[in-house]
Amino acid sequence: MRSIQIIICSVVFSLTITSSTLAQIPDAGSSDALFIRIINGMNAVLKTTPGASATELELYIKTGSVYENDSLSGINNIINQMLGKKVEAALQKGTGGLSVSNTSFSTYSTSEHTVFHFTCSEANIPACLTLIRNNVFSAAITKEELDSAVAATTRQIETNRSDYKKLFDEKLLREIFRQDYDKMNPLGNPAKFKNINLRTVNIFFHRYYVPNNSILTITGKFDIDTFRDQFNTAFNTLPKSEFDPETITKIIDFRPMVYNNQVIVTDNAVSVPEFQICWQFPGTNSYQEGSYYGYLLSAMLNDKNNYLNVIAAKMGCRKLSFQYEANEFNGILRVILLPDKNLLVPTYHWLITQIGNLNQTLINESMINAGKVIFKQEYSKLRSSKEYPSWIVKNWPYSDNTYFTTLLDSVMGTSENGMQRFVAEYLMENAHVSGLLISEADRTALNIDSLFTEVNDSVGDYIFTYRPNITDLEGADNQIKLRNLLQWLKANLDVSIKVNGFSDVSEFNKAYDDTLMRYIDSIPTFRKTMPDLIAKGYLRPEMMRSLKLIKYLNDNGIEQDRLSGTSMPLHSSNKKEEEDNMKCTIILSKARKMVSLHEYHYGKKSGN
């Protein structure tokens, strides 16, 4: 998946054309882009680049892992692998005058697109278009090719597990999207490859790999009128599919994160520790107004003159970058932080605190206006670049062709109140995932695990175990769980915890601890409701176990109003049950209800 800063991937275009017509954006100069749509619904975006020595063509098929059902995870990437092999074979054979020496080719899949990229001479454009027609749209797939593609994809997944950068990104995405991760992973889930057979491949292929679900871009050196004829000749005989992509307004609701989680990836090749912090943001098609604020916020945060960047530089940060990765159906705000190694975790905590206070610090009229100036400058640069058509296509929602024609004006029209609401909803009230990429040596030397460790809401499944008649936690496993639980509660300030203490009736029924008794005597609730218990000076073991965990959490910064407990003695029928009864479990509860992104956004009125 490509990741690019918002300030260099914002795009705009106008599409007001009918079959077999050519339209031009009403904007003078080298940033002009032209659009073709032929009778079968296939589109092309054209942009000539003065002085270019070659021509680049990119075919975009609007399909990817978000279009796959749960049982066919990875099917689109496997189809892409097979078609890519066919194109490579045609180039090796020198089909139509094209060869590996005069034409470069690459292909890849994302969660929302499959892309075939060619670079050739102007004279070879017709042959390149014919190659695309014959080896992509009109390809015949065999079982042998399918088996080979599945094996190659499985190997690629295994290889990626040894690439620390890809592993890091995978861990972040798994925590961000949780149950929806497969829809963000173009390579798919190998456990489900057994469901992909020749029949399912052909059904998927004939549904999505059709002209009315495809857009071709061409940039560089070519004659516009000549290409229009070449494009029509190459593709007008392809039949239009009964499948109408314009009926797609969404694929699936991406369920929001509920808790703040942390991941760590360790590799000795990492010379500089790096934090990445990710929030779920709206996509350009799932919540258009929200995406305008996402674009603008990223531009504002990347302003080198704002206080965040100034203070970060003074703290020795090598990099502080904010990237809004906008897809159609989802988005991510990704913060990349390279702090001074000696201030690694303090700088991270400082940044998290500052982001949580943006509405009181950065979100004001003057800073928003400065962000709009930055956005407009970077937007203008993109319009003049050869990448412009590609970004048009990557963000081309079938449900609304006006999005890009109004993008700049829409961003310029955003309000301070709207930005305040957006920041509150997507940063201050939404969960995030924090990741740390670090070497093993630095992890040990800086004692990272005591300050920042890999942890998520699985802490809710923790069981703390005890020996008979012992109420203090013992053993390394218990201590690790306790440390992780504390860190996770500090990262999730809106979560309350109930500690459930248990014992077996075979244990002593009186447990003494003067320190704990003084602690509960200091709690008004205990003094008022249980004066007799305090006067006795002892507790049952199950209550003592629960309260000791509560006291530890309270002593280390977790507020009393987030802590509660229960206790229960259990009867065992054998030795194994007796041992299992000596434990504490926990229950986590969130202070507010997290609605689904679909429930929150669809039908939401502008300005509400």
Contact assessment for residue 571 and residue 489, using Cβ atoms and an 8 Å cutoff: no
Q: Is residue 105 part of a domain?
A: yes
Q: Is residue 35 part of a domain?
A: no
**Quick one: 411 and 282 in the same domain?**
yes
**Quick one: 459 and 432 in the same domain?**
no
Out of 409, 440, 471, a domain closes at 440
**Quick one: 464 and 345 in the same domain?**
no
Total tally of structural domains belonging to the chain: 3
> According to the model, what pLDDT value does residue 288 have?
86
AA identity, residue 344: L
The angle at the Cα of 418, spanning 412 to 422, to the nearest 5 degrees, equals 110
Q: Report d(CA 583, CA 547) in Å as an integer.
A: 13
**Quick one: 143 and 206 in the same domain?**
yes
**Quick one: 302 and 412 in the same domain?**
yes
Which residues neighbour 389 within 8 Å (Cβ) at sequence distance 6 or greater?
33, 45, 46, 47, 58, 217, 218, 219
Task: For residue 114, give the 3-state DSSP assignment.
Answer: strand
Q: Report d(CA 35, CA 14) in Å as an integer.
A: 9
Q: Report d(CA 271, CA 585) in Å as an integer.
A: 40
> According to the model, what pLDDT value does residue 130 have?
97
CB atoms near residue 223 (< 10 Å): 12
Q: pLDDT tens across 144-154, in order?
A: 999 999 999 99
Query: What's the DSSP call for residue 54?
Result: S
Phi and psi of 449, rounded to 5°?
Answer: -65, -20
Residue 368: CATH number of its domain: 3.30.830.10
Q: Report d(CA 545, CA 567) in Å as an integer.
A: 9
> According to the model, what pLDDT value does residue 195 have?
96
Structural tokens at position 111: 């969660």
Q: Mean pLDDT, 10 residues at a time, over the chain (608 residues)? A: 30 29 38 85 91 93 90 96 97 93 96 96 96 97 97 95 95 93 94 96 94 94 95 95 66 78 96 97 87 96 95 96 91 97 96 94 94 94 87 73 75 96 91 97 95 95 97 96 96 95 94 89 77 82 95 96 94 94 96 52 44
**Quick one: 410 and 462 in the same domain?**
no
Q: What share of the chain is helix, strand, coil (3-state, %, to 5)?
A: 45, 20, 35
Q: Is residue 599 part of a domain?
A: no
Q: Is residue 216 part of a domain?
A: yes
**Quick one: 427 and 460 in the same domain?**
no
**Quick one: 156 and 287 in the same domain?**
no
CB atoms near residue 174 (< 10 Å): 18
> According to the model, what pLDDT value does residue 153 have?
96
**Quick one: 504 and 554 in the same domain?**
yes
Phi and psi of 176, rounded to 5°?
Answer: -70, -45
Task: For residue 245, give the 3-state DSSP assignment.
Answer: helix
Contact assessment for residue 363 and residue 308, using Cβ atoms and an 8 Å cutoff: no
Out of 179, 204, 239, a domain closes at 239
**Quick one: 67 and 147 in the same domain?**
yes
> According to the model, what pLDDT value does residue 2 have?
33
Out of 239, 272, 290, a domain closes at 239
Q: Report d(CA 218, CA 45) in Å as an integer.
A: 6
> According to the model, what pLDDT value does residue 272 have?
95
Which residues neighbour 353 within 8 Å (Cβ) at sequence distance 6 or greater?
none
Structural tokens at position 599: 């429930």
Residue 572: CATH number of its domain: 3.30.1330.60
Q: What is the largest CA-CA distance in the chain?
A: 96
Range(s) of the domain holding residue 136: 40-239
> According to the model, what pLDDT value does residue 4 have?
28
Structural tokens at position 395: 């963000």
Q: Is residue 19 part of a domain?
A: no
What are the distances in angstroms from CA 320 to CA 310, 323, 327, 452? 10, 10, 23, 19
Q: pLDDT tens across 363-377, in order?
A: 999 999 999 999 999
**Quick one: 86 and 156 in the same domain?**
yes
Q: Is residue 359 part of a domain?
A: yes
Q: Is residue 6 part of a domain?
A: no
**Quick one: 223 and 320 in the same domain?**
no
- By residue count, the chain amounts to 608
> According to the model, what pLDDT value does residue 607 have?
43
AA identity, residue 202: N
Q: Report d(CA 356, CA 426) in Å as an integer.
A: 10
CB atoms near residue 171 (< 10 Å): 19
